Amino acid sequence: MSAFMSAFASLVGSLADLLQPFFQTASTAAAIVLFTALVRLAVHPLSRAAARGQKARTKLQPQITALRKKHAKNPERMQKALMELHAAEKVSPLSGCLPSLLQMPAFFLLYHLFSSQRIGGEPNSLLGHELFTAPLGERWHNALADGGPLGAQGLVYLALFVIVTAVATFNYGRTKRQMAANPVTPAAGPDGQPMPGMGAMTKVMPLMSFLTLFSVAFVPLAAALYIVTSTTWTAIERAYLYRDTPVVDAAPAPAL
């Protein structure tokens, strides 16, 4: 693990050196943004596949609802019928999870890199790199202790919070409109009945984007940059990939 982290630190350092003529003291922060973009670009084919799968599942919803009603008293037969339907249509219920799962190692690498005082037995020089006076290895509470929320470091985090809030608001509105235009029957449990709590979960789902604010506040600034860049990419990517998905304007979410 130590050798691997050393190699990753060298990669980040090389990217920073490449960008240094353009971004000067913020070159390491720019390298993190570039690294994030490269990771997202690498998993983009899976995101496209996930979008196709989601659209296919939406089209299958009437058939899924019919199968649940038909086999409501025989949960095993219902699950088998649902699996056969997905197999026949070549739709994987789990395809939407793959892009997020494959990004997690990249995030944890950055988190570990900028949380470690030593890498490969040597002092971690990356911790001293900054984004507009805010050290990449420190957190929001450090910025609050050095000048408060409107201090030089606090303003860096304030800018990130503004970006995350704007992206989350965009995602919230789009998700609510899509859910209103494409209401989905809650998942059934083993008895064929809707699982308890799924209706509430569906209502809360559009608000999940705002949880990113807490992540940005508590992880090292370098990891926060990864989160902000990735969530912004996701919002733009989903708006493009789901551009032909029906939405309705100013419609409330369905009461489930």
What is the pLDDT at residue 190? 42
What is the pLDDT at residue 67? 72
* Residue found by looking up tokens 């070549």 in the block: 90
> Apex CA 178: angle with CA 215 and CA 234, to 5°?
35
What is the pLDDT at residue 95? 59
* Residue found by looking up tokens 């003529």 in the block: 21
Query: Tell me, what DSSP letter sits at residue 129?
Result: -
What is the pLDDT at residue 172? 83
Beta bridge partners of 134: 131
Q: Give the structural domain span for 237.
A: 2-241
What is the pLDDT at residue 236? 92
Task: Determine the number of helices (DSSP H) and then strands (DSSP E) in the chain.
Answer: 9, 4
Distance CA 103, CA 169 (A): 23
E-state strands within the chain = 118-119, 122-123, 130-131, 134-135
In a domain, residue 246? The reply is no
Query: Tell me, what DSSP letter sits at residue 39?
Result: H
What is the pLDDT at residue 249? 38
What is the pLDDT at residue 193? 47
- Give how many domains the chain has, as a whole number: 1
In a domain, residue 75? The reply is yes
Q: What is the pLDDT along the chain (256 residues), one digit of tens a residue?
A: 577 788 888 889 899 999 999 999 999 999 999 999 999 999 888 888 878 777 776 777 777 778 777 777 777 777 777 777 667 766 665 556 667 777 888 888 888 888 888 887 788 888 889 999 899 999 999 999 988 899 999 999 999 999 999 999 988 887 777 666 655 544 444 444 454 444 455 566 657 778 888 999 999 999 999 999 999 999 999 888 887 765 433 333 333 3
Distance CA 35, CA 38 (A): 5
**Cβ neighbours around 108 below 10 Å, total:** 11
What is the pLDDT at residue 122? 83
What is the pLDDT at residue 233? 93
In a domain, residue 247? The reply is no
What is the pLDDT at residue 39? 92
What is the pLDDT at residue 184? 52
In a domain, residue 255? The reply is no
Distance CA 38, CA 252 (A): 37
In a domain, residue 252? The reply is no
In a domain, residue 158? The reply is yes
Contact 68, 188 (CB under 8 A): yes
In a domain, residue 250? The reply is no
- 162, two tokens: 């503004």
What is the pLDDT at residue 255? 31
Q: Residues 6 or more apart from 178 whose CB is under 8 A from it?
A: 242, 245, 246, 247
In a domain, residue 110? The reply is yes
What is the pLDDT at residue 120? 77
